[in-house]
Amino acid sequence: MTGKPDFDFRSSPTRKERKDYGLEKGLLFIVLVSFAMVSPCFARKPDTNANADVKALVMEHNKAFNAQDLKGVMETYAPGPNVVLMGTGPGEIYVGEEAIGGAYNQFFNRFDANTLNFKYDWIHAASRGNFAWFAATINMEGMVKNEKRERAFNMSGALERIKGKWRIVSMHFSRLGAEQQQGAEQPK
The verdict on residue 5 lying in a domain is no
Determine the pLDDT at residue 182. 45
Per-residue pLDDT at 72: 98
Both 57 and 143 in one domain: the answer is: yes
Q: Which of 155, 156, 82, 158 is nearest to 127 (CA)?
A: 158
Which ranges of 67-178 would DSSP assign to H, the alpha helix? Answer: 70-75, 97-108
Phi (first) and psi of residue 8, to 5 degrees:
-95, 115
Same domain, 96 and 139: yes
| pLDDT beneath 70: ranges in the chain | 1-48, 176-188
Instruction: Calculate the CA 131 to chain-centre distance.
Output: 6
**Within-domain flag for 10:** no
- Are 54 and 116 part of one and the same domain? yes
Both 148 and 134 in one domain: the answer is: yes
pLDDT at 3: 57
Same domain, 159 and 126: yes
Q: What is the CATH number of the domain that holds 96?
A: 3.10.450.50
Q: Is residue 180 part of a domain?
A: no
Residue 126 lies in a domain: yes
Same domain, 22 and 66: no
Provide the 3-class DSSP secondary structure of residue 152: strand
Domain count, the chain: 2
pLDDT at 51: 81
Examine the domain organization and report whether 90 and 32 are in the same domain.
no
What is the arrangement of strands in the sheet containing 84-86, beginning at the earlier edge strand? 93-95, 84-86, 165-174, 147-162, 131-144, 117-128
Q: Which residues contact 78 (CB under 8 A, 6 or more apart)?
A: 159, 160, 162, 167, 168, 169
Range of the domain at 149: 48-174
* pLDDT for residue 186: 43
Residues 58 and 105 in one domain: yes
Confirm whether 8 is domain-assigned. Answer: no
| Start-to-end Cα distance in the chain | 77
Q: Is residue 6 part of a domain?
A: no
Residue 62: name the closest of 155, 174, 144, 151 by CA.
155
Residues 20 and 94 in one domain: no
136: in domain: yes
* pTM reported for the whole predicted model: 0.68
Q: What is the pLDDT of residue 169?
A: 98
The contacts of residue 32 (CB under 8 Å, 6+ apart) are: none
Asked if 128 contacts 116 with a C-beta cutoff of 8 angstroms, the reply is no
Instruction: Answer yes or no: do 127 and 107 share one domain.
Output: yes
